[in-house]
Every structure is written in structure tokens, then in C-alpha cells.
Amino acid sequence: MRDAGGQTKIRGSGYEAWLGYPRQQFGGSTASDLEYYGALYIVEENETLQAAAQEYRRGMASMLGIAVANAAEPGGACVAIGTFQGGNERIQNVFDEQTIRAVGPEGYAIRKSRENHCIAVGASSPIGVLYGVFHLLRLAKTSTGNEAFDEVVNPANKLRMINHWDNFDGSIERGYAGHSFFYKHNRFLDNPQRLRDYARMMSSVGINAIAVNNVNVHEQETLFISPAYLPDISNIADIFRVYGIRLYLSVNFASPLQGGELGTADPLDPEVRSWWRGKAAGIYAAIPDFGGFVVKADSENRPGPFTYGRDHADGANMLAEALEPFGGLVIWRCFVYNCKQDWRDRKTDRARAAYDHFKPLDGRFHTNVILQIKNGPMDFQVREPVSPLFGALQQTNQVIEFQIAQEYTGQQRHVCYLVPQWKEVLEFNTYAKGEEDAPVKHVVDGSIWNNRYSGVAAVSNVGDDLNWTGHLLAQANLYGYGRLAWNPELSAECIAEEWARLTFGSDPAVLDTVTRILLDSWSIYESYTAPLGVGWMINPDHHYGPNVDGYEYSPWGTYHFADNRGMGVDRTVRSGTGYSAQYMGPNAERYESLEDCPDELLLFFHHVPYTHVLHSGKTVIQHIYDTHFEGAERAAELLASWQTLQGRMEEGLYLQVEERLLEQAEHAKEWRDKINTYFYRKSGIEDQQQRTIY
């Protein structure tokens, strides 16, 4: 069997991801419990509800070998799905008014009613029903038995977004899983089945918004908002719509100039404003539920309002006015810094840039503008502090931006489960409300400042590889992002075990090994790459492999300032760039203090001698030596752990992960040797354990 892109779907390829629903044995369940699953009662014809019914039938056929029948009799045992006002008497009989009022626009309720002989999935909207069906299947797969279901579930975040960095030529910037499945050779691909399967995957974890092109908009993609391309964009939106996903486009701020239609892109120019209003009207004529624009401006050579002496609020508000009549949003990225700065100047600090640019503009953005803020002040490093913008902006809609694509965390050639990192960020207390707890998760869900729009966005890690993510285990990041965006209270452990069970089945040995590999992987990757919060020790341009002084915007070692005496970046108010003052309350005090700064961020905030003693009792240089030796050893142990699973899963799944872990084990040694050698030669200090350093 082939997918729409012509690839063979072979058993064990990973194409079905967590929607493969491996065969399940329900220990302890009675025959009457399972009887519910054999019949489906649905009365509404809505396309999304029919997709929910199809998903339910597919899941039950795979998990239980059941060919689900249509429930012919209203009183027979069944699963009933539908909206509360959709005329399904089983739904109406099961759910009371209190439950119905508790369900939000995208939420759902699940209840098993023995009195009504059914498991009911009800919602106020068709997409809520679809989310509920996906959750019922997840419960059926991950439960040890079919306990009584009775819950109301609503998403914590309104916007749960994926940003694709796909280019019209078919390449993907920071893409580590093949090429685009949207485009190839500057044309739209005709692969509706692949797009539908992708939409199913995203909907199953609650994603409700997808931007389908790169934020670095090239000349050809600038035309996506023109009549020539809107029919093709609309076809993608039609597929997404069934699964509750609104389509967004990244736009070039200088679009009025690109085709020579106008001589300026000044956001305060009346002709420019009129031009954008016309483009918005054309887009919504083709795609009535179009989500809006994603914009990267005045950063890394992208055009923006600075050219005309305007600021980010001027630029974003101009676009917001064009979209406002149609309910559209402007998502304006805060990843803004001058990449042409003189990095030899120790007062120059890229970490300060987002706060310095956007904090003064708080309260000036229109209500349909959302600022998209990276989780850290730099660029998706394996370890960096939380962006100080969270909590600092009290009058501005905002979403947090994560990177599912492992640009600086192994590029999906190394396993690096990122959910623990994201959990740390979301739980970080900003102290925005003084002594009252104000974690990032409540800043971005809008509850602290009562924002109209809020949520989570992330850079996609998928491509046209048959298993979607290149490294099979990288699917756990995609799955985990969606689950965490829906419910930030879920633990990294719960999500890892859930994904492993859905993907590989219920073999305890497999579940234990896979979850352990995932949960250990972030600390392992950090240990052989980035010591104590420095980061950036990576090859220019492609960002893969060790190169201590190699980052493209830092030929002078700005990101670690290592010399023969010590290393680290002084970001204190006392003697450095002053970045630590961007934080509030105890956070500012802790980062400013050499004694109190957490070890894992020490070199991000302080320049210290190699002999500086950490809280762990080790010196900085010995920590570097030890962690890099240990990291390489632990990477080899990942491989050894995986190899115990041979024969316990489909061979195709086993082999593709083994291949990646073999490469990682070897590459970790290269990291170990290059980093340790560099700092041995810089410091001249021997390893206390007398291990070989070249």
C-alpha cells in the first residue's frame, strides 16, 4: 500500500504513529464492559462528527478486532457520540445541565451510564466530540481495565499551534525528517491522504492552528496571499477544517514591495494599509475561517517597520486592522535581535533583545495581536533561562514558542525528549504578582492578566519521511507537545508512558525501557554538549556537531568568553550586561548572585575561573570533564537498553531506532573529545581522574 506521496506504507514503518492502536487485551474487564464498544450511535451528519465516527471504528478494529456496528436500537449497549443539541437522545439522557454548562467550546464530557446502557461522548461543538472520541480511544488503550468514565475535559490554552518552516521548493528550514509534504519544486503537492492523516494526528492531541509556511518568507511564498495560489491554500484548509484546525500563513512584511505594486511597506502609509485590507478580504473570500498571519520582522535580515522609523506595534497593528473585520489574528514573533552587532563587545547581549524591544510597547498592541515569545531569551538551546518577558507584559496577548524540531538538541538524529524541559519552563514562577504564585503556564493561558488571546506555539518537527519525524522516538516530542498544550498539568512521565503504550503496545518490558530512554535523554544530551548553561558550541549554518567557537554570529567566542583563566558570560548588573535585572523579585536576585545562581545556569549569568567550586562540590573544569565522559557512556547505555527489546516489537520499528542510537553513541564520543580537549588546552588543568584527553 502506498501513501499519496507514492511511499510504501509497510508494517513497522511508524507511519501510523500513535494512531496505530496496537492490539489491546483488557485484563479484568467483563464481557458486558466490552459490549459497549461494539456498537456506535450517532445521528448527526456533520463532517467532523463523521470523522469522529470513522476514527472510533478504525481504533476499535485495530485494538480489539471489532467491526463496529451502527446501533440500531436506541436502548442497546453502545458508544453514543454527538453534540448536546444534536438530537441524540442517548447524549441528552446521559448529560445533565450542570455538565453541559461545564463544557467549553472545544471541551467534551465522557460518561459511562449503566442506566442508559452506553458510554457517551458529548460536547457543545463537533470538534469537541472529535477530541472526546480521541480521548476515549486513548483511555481504552492506556487503561488496564474499562473503569467507569465520568469526566469533563476542557483545554487549558485557547491557541495550540504548530508553525511549519516549509519552503515552496520543498525544503524545510531546520527540517530533520525529509522534505515538505505540502510543496515540491515550487508547486503544491497533490497528496490529500497524507494531509488528512497529518490532520488526524494533530487533532488527536488537540492542535487547533497550523501555519503552513516558513516564517522566513521567500519571494515565491510571498505570493501565497495572491489569487494565483489561494485555491491551493484553500484545499489544505478544507482538509484541516474537518479536524478543527485553522490554517495560518507566514507573511513577508515587505509584501507590498515584492511584486512592485507599491513603492513602500511603511505601516503608517494609507496605501499600504489599504493594500493589506484588500489582501485580507481576498484571503477570507477563499478561506472563510482563515486564522491569520504569522510575522517575523526586523530580525536576521527580515524586513520590518524599522526601515520606516516605526516600531513593532505600528507594524503589527497595521496588519491587525486588516484582519480584524474577519476575526483574524496577527501572531508577531518576539525573536528580534541585530545579527550584525559587534559580538566582540562584552556589553552586547543578544539575550536582552526581546525584552528591550517589547517591554516598552506593552499595552500598545491591538486586541487581535498576539506576541509569540520563545521559551528562552536566546534560541531553543538545550539549557537557558526562561524568557523574562513572561510576566513582564501585563497588557498584551502572548503565546509561548517551543521548538519541537531538535535544531540544537540533536536534530532528531539523537534522542532528546523535550517535554521535561517544557515542563520546567511552564512551571517557572515569574513573580509577576509578587508573593502570589505566577507560573509561566498561567501567564500564557491568559488567566493571570485575563488576556483575550493566549496559548502555545511550536516549530514543527515533521516531514515526508515515512515515520513523519525521522527518528521514531522524536514522535514523542510531537505527541507530548500537543498533550502539554492541552493540559500543562500532565507530567512528563505520564506523557512518555502514554505515547509508548499507544505506539508500541502494552508489553511491560517495552514500556519500561522506552519511557526510561525518553526520560533520561534530555540530561544525557545536555551532559555531552552544553556545560552549565553555555550552549552554542555547535557548527555554523547547519547547527549539528561540536564546534566550540563555531556559531555563525559569534566568531569571537561571545557565547562562552573562554580564555586561559575562566569562562562564562557576565550578565550581572554589577559588572556585566545587566540582563539579570530583566527578571522580577527573587529571580533577579538569584541570577545576579554568584553564590545563589543555579549550577545549570551559572555560565549563562557569570564569568568564573575554571577552579570555581559549584554547589555540587566540583570545580567548573572538572564538571566539564566528568559530564562529557559520563554523557558519552550514558549515550552508549541508551543503545544497550534498546537492544534488549529486539524481538519484542515489529522489526521495522526496532531497527530504525537502533540505527539512530548507534549513531548517537558514536557522535557523543566526538562531542566528549572535542569539548574536553578544547577546555583542557584553554585551562591547562588536568583531569583529576587522569582520563585520556587529547
Residues involved in catalysis: 300, 379, 407
The CA distance from 540 to 547, in Å, is 8
**Backbone dihedral region for residue 54 (phi beyond 0: left; psi -120 to 50: alpha; all else: beta):** alpha
The CA distance from 164 to 483, in Å, is 18
What is the DSSP secondary-structure string of 64-125? H---PEE--STTSSEEEEEETTSS-HHHHHH--HHHHHH--TT-EEEEEETTTTEEEEEESS
State the cell numbers at 652.
Answer: 521495522
State the cell numbers at 566.
Answer: 575562566
Q: Say if CB 639 and CB 661 are below 8 A apart.
A: yes
Q: What is the CA radius of gyration of the chain?
A: 26
Q: Helices (H), strands (E): how many in the chain?
A: 20, 18
Q: In terms of C-beta density within 10 A (0-12 exposed, 13-18 middle, 19 or more buried), how is residue 384 classed?
A: buried
What is the DSSP secondary-structure string of 159-212? EEEEE--B-TTS-BTT--SSS-SSEETTEE---HHHHHHHHHHHHHTT--EEE-
Cβ-proximal residues to 554 (8 Å cutoff; 6+ apart), any chain: 343, 536
Measure Cα distances from 280 to 231, 233, 253, 284 in Å: 15, 14, 14, 6
The CA distance from 693 to 684, in Å, is 11
State the cell numbers at 83.
Answer: 453534540
Residue among 72, 7, 78 at smallest CA distance from 40 = 78
The CA distance from 635 to 525, in Å, is 8
Q: Say if CB 265 and CB 273 are below 8 A apart.
A: no
